[in-house]
Amino acid sequence: MSNTPLKHLAIIMDGNGRWAKERGFKRTKGHEVGAETIRTITTYCAQCSEIETATFYAFSTENWKRPKLEVEFLMKLLDKYLQKELSTYQENGIRFQAIGDIGAFSRPLQARIRNTEELTYANRNLTQVLALNYGSRSEIVSSVNTLIASGKTSISEEDISSALQTPYSDIDLLIRTSGEERISNFLLWQLSYAELYFSPTLWPDFTAKELEDIITNYKTRTRRFGGVK
């Protein structure tokens, strides 16, 4: 059995575009269905007593390279998602938090993000983190610069951890869907000793049952953290 509980789950949600293409839809349809999957998986995590935080890679700093119309659709979808999911957050005791540079988003979208954070702040069953305009290298560089600006002349691992945008526990389990097997600049510092699981399932088809099966697999692993067990 796993020698530590699954407190922090991270997911790279991959495969929306391919899911849509396989069905003859526009890529935007894949993103719409993928947003529904986020709700399903987040609700499952909120009902799983040991999971404290679920972090989803929603929009990377590299995603701005996508076609303009697709990016504009994703911004509108995010706004719609947060508006619609507020009741889900409140009913399931889910706290919402964003990480990343949201200053690049429109003012109304920034306001929606901050307002949702404030309205769900007291919820305690689960913290759902959406990584928005997020890149891990940028996060690490920013944290180091913050520490230097504060007067630090010698910086420890603990200092960097405390200055990151994600001051939660390190990642216990990372899942990436769609069969791709790479980390893509996501939570590099926090993933140092995470268990990794790569699912062939495209994100819109990912289910709570598959997540449950992956968690069962995770619990059969022995985490050594560099030592010998």
E-assigned strands of the chain? Answer: 8-12, 53-60, 94-99, 126-134, 173-176, 195-198
C-alpha to C-alpha distance for 153 and 41, rounded to whole angstroms: 43
Residue 68 confidence class, pLDDT cut points 50, 70, 90: very high
Q: 221 pLDDT band (50/70/90 cuts)?
A: confident
**2: confidence class by pLDDT, cuts 50, 70, 90:** very low
- Stated pTM of the model: 0.93
CA 40 to chain centre: 14
CATH architecture of 8-135+170-218: 3-Layer(aba) Sandwich (3.40)
Active-site positions? 14, 63
pLDDT at 84: 95
Q: Where are the alpha helices (DSSP H) in 152-207?
A: 157-163
Which of 48, 40, 64, 44 lies closest to 6, judged by CA?
A: 48
Q: Which two tokens stand for residue 210?
A: 């598959």
Q: Where are the domains of the chain?
A: 8-135+170-218
Contact present, 223 and 37 (Cβ < 8 Å): no
Given a cut of 80, is residue 1 above it in pLDDT?
no
Confidence of residue 3 (pLDDT cuts 50, 70, 90): low
